[in-house]
Chains A and B, each alone.
Chain A
């Protein structure tokens, strides 16, 4: 094991670290704050390209055996997460363009996501999860626009802390049951039948359910999503969710799941789909609605674990790609409003087609895709997951899940109905700028995914 290998294997992480260091230097020296967004974008873009490059050359290895390893699949996952962050950075320039603190926190959290997706042991996984979550507690409060933000951030912090505690407790019980802190100890514990192991498995799973906002551990999400500013909400909905799911896939790995574990993994996500989709119908705020939508989508993502071992990571990455892109597209196209609370109201979208036709069409595409209506990429992603679930023999769960996803169609359509069929309310400001760069950044891959989904599936499946 030599130094150059260690440097190359963790190159995406190192590039982020360099970005963080430069941003801190800018902050300390009090110069060039207006380049913050640029520095952060350069770091993330560099890291994304590096991860892609390493994936293409099929780089593989373990710089810290037992703690951290990379292979083609994890590098692809990292590349996807990093690429999904790029439109968010564009999106944040309006609000946080010269606030280096925002970018330091965001890159730190991103570092945690990368760490999680490469973790081999419970220690690294814990470290990654904490690095990923901590900055977000602050991000929710950063540049807060409403008084409720403090309450939401505190709620998020407390529940996040509870999740951390449960994860630690679960990990220590896994160690007690199996004598190992390697990640595959989790599945071993799940196959053991004694109480200690069962409690350990449940604690770890609940920790992830909490972090991914699966019903009934979801109550922090709508508040936090609503209180945070748009780029932060988008970051939570896309990247944090991606980090949590990549962690779960990492823990479950390729192992064959036995009967109790499968039901544990399937039932709450199924309820999540149904409840998330039903509750979303009643929302009057865009971000709250997206929060419930993401609760439902967490359900689909956990469903990917029901598939056979090798298919899991592919399904999760493809789903995250489609889901993340669509959320980013929707957030990027959201028109500006007089203030945050009014901008967030669904009523503000009324008659949007007549004010900003392209924004309305983009949001429409994003929502139809999230609803899983073909030909948009969300459909292929959902198809992939349910195909794997049926292929693994869980036909009943698949049918129930599909019916659960059907319940979601209505509230997405309702937004489209508002945008295209509603008449413009009186006194609405005629137009605001939309984040064109971010929209285009999302639209191009969306079209590519719609027309050539097969190319991406083949790439991810290798």
Chain B
């Protein structure tokens, strides 16, 4: 099997799995099929990840077939430095999500796992797509399974939460759709070529004003997904009402769609407008970091604490992207993966305690360390990873982002513009706040007098231990050996940096042309 065939197989395994589920009647068999399909998918993804060559610009394991020939739409997928880690993360979380739901989901089991397959397909497709039309199809298709997952298996206010989720995200997408059509049309006007290919669209130069409008439309869509304050209000509702699997998918992968959209599409497609907006992006990133952290501090619902912490953590990703510093950009990519691991782990753990005690009120718990030692150890590790303790993935991400932010802010400060420096400084307070709310949360949750709403509570079973152990290994892997991941994303980060940063300077066209000449497939 050639490598590009394998990539297609990875993408379409969930579809095959969904078809296989149709005739199956036994819920146990449904769970087994889904689990093993996800495991196979992850195994294949690891193989491709290991084969993925660092230091080579452009796409690897590419497939490009005409899909809607008249419009120049292609089925075009491939791995590059931008998506390789996120695809790995998605495939990694797949089996964990499925295994985590074995006991929690007892209603409409078949539909549930079919929807998990569906969303896995749509998420991988969004990351892998190299054609704007294909990207949009996958991007929007994600709404359908998520709508059902929250709406059918969610908590009490699930209908409200899921409708809010869909209406928020669909509003962003509809304006992005208008922008996509306009962008492709202007490419056709300029060059006579009708194409939705990312490569063609990157090369297309638009006037600054048009770039501004289009970037605004794309950014709105992505910012709702991230979410960036003040567009975040759907997130706490969706997280709180979603079943554990839904929260894990949301926090683990879905939120990264927004930041991935910025790094892969939003900023590189409209470089001049993006570099003009960089300081504003930094500002909203810092607001997200601090505001999310402050809100997390005062929550009484366990799930809400983690939901708001997601807003704060994704603020770092935006800060890294806006720093336009190589280290900061790479930090942002690592931070995406790290947050995917820790938030997924924390949501899984909240789900586990909820299955036992049926409440998410923080005040109902206390001193769990005494009665649930294994649970508490895992919880503490993930908490420390979330606040960025060295040797965990959270440290790698946050540290690199802040380093990058200062790296880029200092020369500007010397040149007389101190605004970025102040923002980078403010972002550091987010780390302190993060440690505050997470440790305070852990203290009230795990220590103090023993208090459980539903005694006796049993500790984690073997399945749950295996799930969490896998996650913890990944957290340490990314914390101790980030070099491998950094090497594989370096070329992409450099490319992003050159496109967006160089665009700010008058020599832009030649620099971009030179950059394009380096890429073998850009010349095609």
Contacts and interface: CB of A to CB of B under 8 A. Distances in A.
Interface of A: 353-354, 357, 368, 373-375, 379-380, 383, 386-387, 390-391, 395, 398-399, 402-403, 405-406, 409-410, 413, 416-417, 420-421, 453-454, 457-458, 461
Contacts of A410: 163, 167
A390 B185 contact: yes
A380 B137 CA distance: 9
Contact of B178 (A353, A354, A398, A457): A398
A103 to B, nearest CB: 36
Nearest to A357: B111
B181 A368 contact: no
A386 B181 contact: yes
B208 interface: no
A375 B141 contact: yes
B159 A374 contact: no
Contacts of A417: 151, 159, 162-163
Nearest to A374: B137
A374 B167 contact: no
Contacts of A453: 67-68
B522 interface: no
B8 to A, nearest CB: 15
For the complex of A and B, list the 7 residue pairs with the smallest distance between their C-beta atoms, beginning with the closest. A454-B68, A374-B137, A406-B174, A374-B140, A421-B151, A399-B178, A390-B181
A395 B185 CA distance: 11
B69 A458 contact: yes
Contacts, number: 87
Contacts of B188: 391
B170 interface: yes
A399 B152 CA distance: 33
Nearest to A373: B140
Contacts of B148: 416, 420
B92 interface: no
Given A406-B174, A417-B151, 15 more contacts: A353-B111, A373-B143, A373-B170, A374-B136, A375-B137, A387-B181, A390-B182, A398-B178, A402-B175, A403-B175, A417-B162, A420-B148, A420-B152, A453-B67, A457-B70
A386 B148 CA distance: 29
A421 to B, nearest CB: 5
16 contacts: A373-B144, A380-B68, A395-B178, A398-B178, A399-B175, A402-B175, A403-B175, A405-B174, A406-B171, A413-B147, A413-B166, A421-B151, A453-B67, A454-B67, A454-B69, A461-B70
Given A420-B152, A454-B66, A386 B144 contact: no
B166 A391 contact: no
Contacts of A457: 68, 70-71
B108 A353 contact: yes
B371 interface: no
Contacts of B70: 454, 457-458, 461
Contacts of B170: 373, 406, 409
A406 B140 CA distance: 13
B521 to A, nearest CB: 23
Interface string B148-178: 1001100000110011001100110011011
Contacts of A383: 177, 181
A391 B66 CA distance: 22
B181 A373 contact: no
Nearest to A460: B70
Contacts of B159: 417, 421
Contact of A402 (B162, B178, B184): B178
A405 B173 CA distance: 12
Contacts of A395: 178, 182
Interface in B51-104: 66-71, 73
Contact of B185 (A391, A405, A416): A391
Nearest to B151: A421
A379 B173 CA distance: 13
B163 A454 contact: no
Interface in B163-218: 163, 166-167, 170-171, 174-175, 177-178, 181-182, 184-185, 188
Nearest to B217: A399
B160 to A, nearest CB: 11
Contacts of B108: 353-354
A281 B68 CA distance: 34
Contacts of A454: 66-71, 73
Contacts of B166: 409, 413
A368 B141 CA distance: 10
Contacts of B66: 454
Contacts of B177: 383, 386, 402
A387 B143 CA distance: 23
A374 B70 CA distance: 19
A421 B140 contact: no
Contacts of B136: 374
Contact of B144 (A354, A368, A421, A458): A368
A399 B182 CA distance: 10
B71 A420 contact: no
A383 B73 CA distance: 12
A121 to B, nearest CB: 32
A398 B162 CA distance: 28
B140 A387 contact: no
Given A406-B170, A453-B68, A379 B137 contact: yes
